[in-house]
């Protein structure tokens, strides 16, 4: 079965979101990061010139996923860093901690474009499920 790594969700009043798939939790998390970034900018134009290591603690899955995305939003808003590549360096099985290596570059509206202005990943309708051969998640964003 061919899986697309994410699908936008726009049928929520004043919000947006993404459905994400991955063959592992690590792949799902990275696909969520890339899906988030692609909803804000044209990720295909973001070059992996710089690296940032991101550490996130949480209460467990699925909250870890939203907490990671909110840290990525912080990097984008404060440091103007747009990641285009993601690698999980460490992931606790209970979802209480993740360490990610993000590669990208400083955001440039002329180069990367501008799509949605996303304020936060929310816990509203947040879900992460193990299917037969993959994981699926749904994350709603406050825009």
pLDDT single digits (tens) 2-32? 456 777 776 666 678 899 999 999 999 999 9
Q: What is the mean pLDDT of residues 52-62?
A: 97
pLDDT value at position 10? 66
Provide the CATH topology of domain 6-142.
Archease, Possible Chaperone; Chain: A; domain 1 (3.55.10)
Per-residue model confidence as pLDDT tens digits over 61-84? 999 999 999 999 999 999 999 999
Q: What is the mean pLDDT of residues 125-135?
A: 94
**What does pLDDT average to over the chain?**
92
Q: What is the mean pLDDT of residues 92-114?
A: 96
- Among 45, 59, 62, residue whose Cα is nearest residue 137: 62
CA distance 112 to 81: 12
| 25 phi and psi angles, rounded to 5 deg | -60, -40
Output the CA–CA distances (angstroms, integers) from residue 142 to 22, 38, 55, 135, 139, in the order listed.
23, 16, 23, 23, 10
- Containing 25, the helix (H) or strand (E) segment is helix 25-40
Q: Tokens 């996923």 map to which residue?
A: 65
Q: Tokens 């984008």 map to which residue?
A: 76
CA distance 25 to 91: 9
pLDDT value at position 11? 66
């Amino acid at each position: 079965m061919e899986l697309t790594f994410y699908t936008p969700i726009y049928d929520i009043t004043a919000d947006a979101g993404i459905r994400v798939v991955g063959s592992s939790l690590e792949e799902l998390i990275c696909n969520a990061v890339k899906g988030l970034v692609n909803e804000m900018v044209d990720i295909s134009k973001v070059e992996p010139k710089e690296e940032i290591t991101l550490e996130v603690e949480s209460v467990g899955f699925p909250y870890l996923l939203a907490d990671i995305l909110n840290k990525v939003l912080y990097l984008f808003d404060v440091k103007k860093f747009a990641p285009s590549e993601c690698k999980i360096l460490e992931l606790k099985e209970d979802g209480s901690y993740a360490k990610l290596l993000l590669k990208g570059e400083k955001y440039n509206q002329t180069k990367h474009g501008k799509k949605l202005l996303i304020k936060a990943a929310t816990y509203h309708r947040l879900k992460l499920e193990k299917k037969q051969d993959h994981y699926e998640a749904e994350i709603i964003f406050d825009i």
